[in-house]
Amino acid sequence: MESNASEVALDLFPYLKVYKNGTLERIAGVEVVPPGLDPETNVLSKDIVIVPETGVSARIYRPNLISEDRKLPLVVYFHGGAFCVASPAFPPYHTSLNKLVAEANIIALSVDYRLVPEHPLPTSYEDSWVALQWIASHKDEDGNQEAWIKDYVGFEQVFLAGDSAGGNIAHHLALRIKESNLGQKLKILGIGMIHPYFWGTSPIGPELNDRSRKELVDKWWLYVCPTDKGCDDPLINPFVDGESADLAGLACDRILIIVAEKDILKGRGWLYYDKLVKSGWKGKAEIMETEGEDHVFHIFNPDCDNANRLTKRLASFFNQGKLPFQLKCQSEVLG
């Protein structure tokens, strides 16, 4: 029989368990795979340290065959995992980034930000911001520089992207860029948000008819960010006051939001899109819904047809930098 110390105090299925003795057991996202040459996609990767003092690092990817004469778009990627699990080395993320880099012919940098609860929010956002600043420092001639960025990246073709919590991070960084001088060094062309992790106390969309999953997601966030604002903390609910004016300050020209039909977060993705197109933001907004799929299905089932369609859609988005820019909003449903 378990002692009281080893009894589960909080079960955050499917991510982690917290025991009464204070110990933490991560259930998901703990496996790791080394970087290197992926024989299936012919994509190279390696791990790099960004801030030795804090351990903030990243996994960087590039096509194996590449020419220094042509600069490639850079996608700065933020992985999901509810801010508390996973890493760029988690096998499903490593596979997903290899496939994306091969399909899009890009450089990708997947940020290994520090996780809750050992590093409470807003650490994940701050680590991701530091990674962007470090990338921007490559425009200068000195400092801690990475050859793959210096030699192959087009600094006028930078994208932010992420799934779930990573989509949330990308949103907040794009707002922060507008208030900084970072945009003078990096041109953020767009943001790709895949099943973004936004939430709120009052249910909307599919949350209205799925009380059990609504309560589960509530519990996740209240553990990740235990503030008196709860699920209406501005970090998770950008429309807590019903306003969308802040979206007009997003520092990019295009945003692609991808949602999944069976995802409990789907309503938040559509709400973000609707608020965006009414906000006064001057860019091009697009939304894509994948029929018959649930949250981050492409990460855990990367070879299915819908995952391949999703990857191709992202690749197209990341390669629009040299196309004439037109203002329009559009939506599509793929099944």
Domain-wise residue ranges, the chain = 1-30, 33-319
| Average pLDDT score over the chain | 92
Whether residue 3 is predicted with pLDDT greater than 50 in this model: the reply is no
Question: Is 164 designated active site?
Answer: yes
Scan for tokens 């988690």, then name that residue: 90
* pLDDT band per the 50, 70, 90 thresholds, residue 245: low
Angstrom CA distances, 217 to 14, 131, 171, stand at 11, 28, 20
Q: What confidence tens digit (pLDDT) does each residue in 321-332 have?
A: 543 333 334 555
b/e string for 133-166 if b means 16 or more Cβ within 10 A? Answer: ebbbebeeeeeeebebbeebbbeebbbbbbbbbb
Phi/psi-derived region of residue 105, left when phi > 0, alpha when psi is between -120 and 50, beta in every other case: left
Report, as an integer, the average pLDDT of 155-175: 97
Q: What single DSSP character describes residue 324?
A: P
> Of 2 and 144, which is predicted with more confidence?
144
**Among positive and negative, which fits the CA dihedral 167, 168, 169, 173?**
positive
Decide which of 22 and 48 is more confident. 48
Of 128, 108, 98, 118, nearest in space to 33 by CA? 98
Helix (H) / strand (E) containing 63: strand 56-63
Stretch 144-159: mean pLDDT: 93
| Active-site residue (options: 87, 110, 128, 164) | 164
What is residue 22's predicted lDDT score, i.e. its pLDDT?
A: 86
pTM above 0.75, yes or no: yes
Could you tell me what percent of the chain has a pLDDT over 90? 84
Instruction: Please give the Cα distance from 311 to 111 (Å, whole number).
Output: 19
Kindly report, residue by residue over 282-301, the tens digit of the pLDDT: 999 999 999 999 999 999 99
Full strand arrangement of the beta sheet holding 188-194: 37-38, 43-51, 56-63, 107-112, 72-78, 153-163, 188-194, 254-260, 284-290, 329-334
The domain made up of 33-319 is a member of CATH 3.20.20.80: no
11 pLDDT band, cuts 50/70/90, is very high
Q: What is the CA radius of gyration of the chain?
A: 19
